[in-house]
């Protein structure tokens, strides 16, 4: 088959997006099974990345109409109708190499516009519906309300919808009252490279804690810092490594903080020295930090299916994670990690202490976590499940075409 996968940016080395990671992993899995895979970069660009990567372009007519709509007081028109340009790029590719199936995310409702302008099967994979994400990041303006509505309208048009976490699939179908002809929970795949460093009970720093994620509200950066403030009161030898971009965090009072300013607000100058803000780091550096740390913290207020969690589990790291969204589907509390009460710094601090106080149990958690990822997220299994979804999309498309 010729399969096309949509991604917000490309290549993977230039982006820390979970969607890009997912697309790249799936691309390799499908190619390994003998399929031809092309990539369409939804954000648009003019960079040449080879014949298998295409970009939608803004035509002169689109630019003129977008400018006219801005003058008429509809500045969001261009963004809302970008799906038409994506479909145009897909149709050009389809002329050269017929497309058997196209997979794309639900973001901005572009999938609705695309479906109206293509003649081949499509599967929508839920990566982060706005109705689930937006309230957690204090986004309640009209633009986000419109995006939620557009995504709902677009999803109602789809015959095939999949999701890496069951809760996201169930919540989305219920929220929008969707009844697609085919829906499936298909986890993300994760393959390990041969030089991946594994966590061991004897080689880590027992006083080093690691958090990998954006400094923002969704990733729970404030929860991590508040929990660490509690921990250093009784364990002053602890240190926190903070890896990820500083996106700015809006607190409950609507005040936006940088990472350093928020930490200064919580910690004394002496305790502030126990926190290292490293910013964005390459995957190889993060892998080393995981293997060196006593445990990895996942504090997200919501996740669909976090690669940050899966990657830590695959490295056999003890993980302390919030019992929220798809993260709670990955970790069995007390067996393959520790779950804490979502949004609760005290619960997080207590869970961290439990892991630190029992090194033998921490090692067992890590071993079980690695085994789970190897079994449930094996690339060949995920590719097979995805191909079943594609086969259903193709069959439904053929049946619909036959009745026209």
Read off the tokens for 361.
């149990």
Averaged pLDDT for residues 296-321: 96
* DSSP letter, residue 234: H
> H or E segment at 37?
strand 36-41
Sequential DSSP letters for 257-303: E-HHHHHHHHS-HHHHTTEEEEES--HHHHHHHHHHEEEEEE--S--
Specify which residues 95 forms β-bridges with. none
Phi first, then psi: give them for residue 23, nearest 5 degrees. Answer: -60, -45
Asked whether residue 139 carries a pLDDT value surpassing 60, the answer given is no
Asked whether residue 49 carries a pLDDT value surpassing 90, the answer given is no
Supply the pLDDT for residue 400: 83
Specify which residues 250 forms β-bridges with. 256
Residue that has been written with the tokens 């994670």 in this structure: 321
List the one residue out of 79, 86, 83 whose CA is nearest residue 146: 79
Rounded Cα–Cα distance for residues 103 and 92 (Å): 17
Reported confidence tier of residue 133, pLDDT bands at 50, 70, 90: confident
Q: 273: how many CB neighbours lie within 10 A of its CB?
A: 10
CATH number corresponding to 205-376: 3.40.50.2000
Supply the pLDDT for residue 144: 79
Cβ–Cβ < 8 Å for 210, 296: yes
Asked whether residue 138 carries a pLDDT value surpassing 60, the answer given is no
* DSSP letter, residue 376: H
Averaged pLDDT for residues 38-52: 82
Averaged pLDDT for residues 328-340: 97
Read off the tokens for 182.
């085919």
Rounded Cα–Cα distance for residues 45 and 88 (Å): 15
Query: How many residues does the structure list for the chain?
Result: 404
Reported confidence tier of residue 80, pLDDT bands at 50, 70, 90: confident
Cβ–Cβ < 8 Å for 301, 341: no
Supply the pLDDT for residue 333: 96
Residue 199 half-sphere exposure, CB side, CA atoms within 13 Å?
36
Supply the pLDDT for residue 2: 98
CATH number corresponding to 2-189+378-403: 3.40.50.2000
Lowest mean per-residue pLDDT among 28-37, 150-159, 248-257 = 248-257
For CATH 3.40.50.2000, list the domain ranges present in the chain: 2-189+378-403, 205-376
Q: How far is CA 67 from CA 59, 89, 113, in A?
A: 12, 21, 20
Supply the pLDDT for residue 403: 79
Averaged pLDDT for residues 228-245: 97
**∠ CA 268-272-275, rounded to 5°:** 155
Give the chain's mean pLDDT.
92
Averaged pLDDT for residues 322-327: 94
Rounded Cα–Cα distance for residues 224 and 202 (Å): 25
347 SS3 class: helix
Asked whether residue 141 carries a pLDDT value surpassing 70, the answer given is no
Read off the tokens for 286.
């993060």
Whether the CA torsion 208, 213, 219, 225 is positive or negative: it is: positive
Supply the pLDDT for residue 212: 96
């Amino acid at each position: 088959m010729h399969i096309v996968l949509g991604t917000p940016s490309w290549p993977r080395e230039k982006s820390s997006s979970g969607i890009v990671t997912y697309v790249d992993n799936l691309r390799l899995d499908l190619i390994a099974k003998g399929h031809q895979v092309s990539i369409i970069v939804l954000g648009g660009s003019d960079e040449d990345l080879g014949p298998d990567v295409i970009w939608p372009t803004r035509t002169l007519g689109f630019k003129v109409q977008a400018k006219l709509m801005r003058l008429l007081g509809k500045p969001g028109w261009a963004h809302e109708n970008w799906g038409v340009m994506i479909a145009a790029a897909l149709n050009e590719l389809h002329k050269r190499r017929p497309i058997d199936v196209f997979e794309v995310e639900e973001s901005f409702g572009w999938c609705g516009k695309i479906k109206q302008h293509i003649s081949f099967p499509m599967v929508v994979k839920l990566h982060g519906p706005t109705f689930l994400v937006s309230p957690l990041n204090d986004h309640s303006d009209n633009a986000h309300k419109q995006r939620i509505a557009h995504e709902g309208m677009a999803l109602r048009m789809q015959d095939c919808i999949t999701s890496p976490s069951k809760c996201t699939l169930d919540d989305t179908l219920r929220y929008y009252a969707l009844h697609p002809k085919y829906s499936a929970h298909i986890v993300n795949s994760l393959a390990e490279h041969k030089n991946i460093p594994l966590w061991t009970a004897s080689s880590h720093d027992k006083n080093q804690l690691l958090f990998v994620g954006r400094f923002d509200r969704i990733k729970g950066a404030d929860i991590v810092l508040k929990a660490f403030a509690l921990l250093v009161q009784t364990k002053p030898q602890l240190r926190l490594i903070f890896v990820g971009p500083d996106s700015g965090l809006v607190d409950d009072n609507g005040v936006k903080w940088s990472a350093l300013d928020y930490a200064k607000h919580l910690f004394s100058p002496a305790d502030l020295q126990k926190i290292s803000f490293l910013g964005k780091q390459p995957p190889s550096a993060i892998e080393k930090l995981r293997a060196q740390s006593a445990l990895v913290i996942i504090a997200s207020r919501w996740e669909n299916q976090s690669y940050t969690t899966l990657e830590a589990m695959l490295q056999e790291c003890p993980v302390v994670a919030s019992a929220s969204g798809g993260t709670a589907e990955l970790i069995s509390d007390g067996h393959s990690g520790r779950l804490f009460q979502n949004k609760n710094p005290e619960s997080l601090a207590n869970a961290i202490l439990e892991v630190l106080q029992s090194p033998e149990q921490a090692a067992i958690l890590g071993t079980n976590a690695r085994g789970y990822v190897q079994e449930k997220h094996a690339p060949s299994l995920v590719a097979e499940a995805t191909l079943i979804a594609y086969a259903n999309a193709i069959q439904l498309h053929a049946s619909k075409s036959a009745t026209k």
